[in-house]
Amino acid sequence: MEMEKYIEKGLMAFVPVYLDMKGNSTILYTFSSGKIEVYKSIRTFLNGLGKYFLLDLKQSNKYYGELLGSNNGVPIPFNKDNIFIPVKVRRPISKNDGSLGYINIKYIEKVVEEDGQGIVYLKSNIKIKSLNTTKTIEKHIREGHIVGKFYEEKHGTIYEIDDFYSQSDKPATKGDIALLRQEILSIRETLH
């Protein structure tokens, strides 16, 4: 299976690209094999990944979007180790061009701003330029971690809670409040 091969290599990110003689294609960045060209559009690749993980992308977007209080830039949890955030990497030329790439949050090392662009540095010295600001990318990363916690809770996986005191000086986001609400409702159900 082609998709299984990409996952086994450590799929760090996939971004849309236009290749001469091939048209709309996708560049994969894997941990063990580096850059791989796939001659499928980003949408086709994303749908294939959803099928591989048995994930309904529309329902996932709706469910996690409601929990985060957002319908734009909703992270995609394929499983606990493959949570991808969307990042705008190009301006579409035509109607069917994808502008979003997807980055696995577990491979992100840092996000910096260069010339007004957010740059995401991944493991294996991979650098992905974005049209998003660092603030937007960092927001997506935070939401990715929140979605990961929701995913683990929903699928019965045990997860570590961040050290409360190291996070206590940061403002609460909609996602933090949604996570807190979910935990309160869960506790309430066990008391009844």
Helix (H, G, I), strand (E, B) or coil at 48: helix
Residue 121: give the domain boundaries. 2-191
Higher per-residue confidence, 180 vs 36: 36
pLDDT, tens digit (0-9, with 9 covering 90-100), for 133-179 = 999 999 999 999 999 998 888 876 444 444 444 555 667 777 767 77
User: Which residue, 44, 74, 78, 49, is CA-closest to 62?
Assistant: 74
The total of structural domains in the chain comes to: 1
Largest interatomic CA distance in the chain? 63
Task: Tell me the β-bridge partners of 118.
Answer: 113, 130
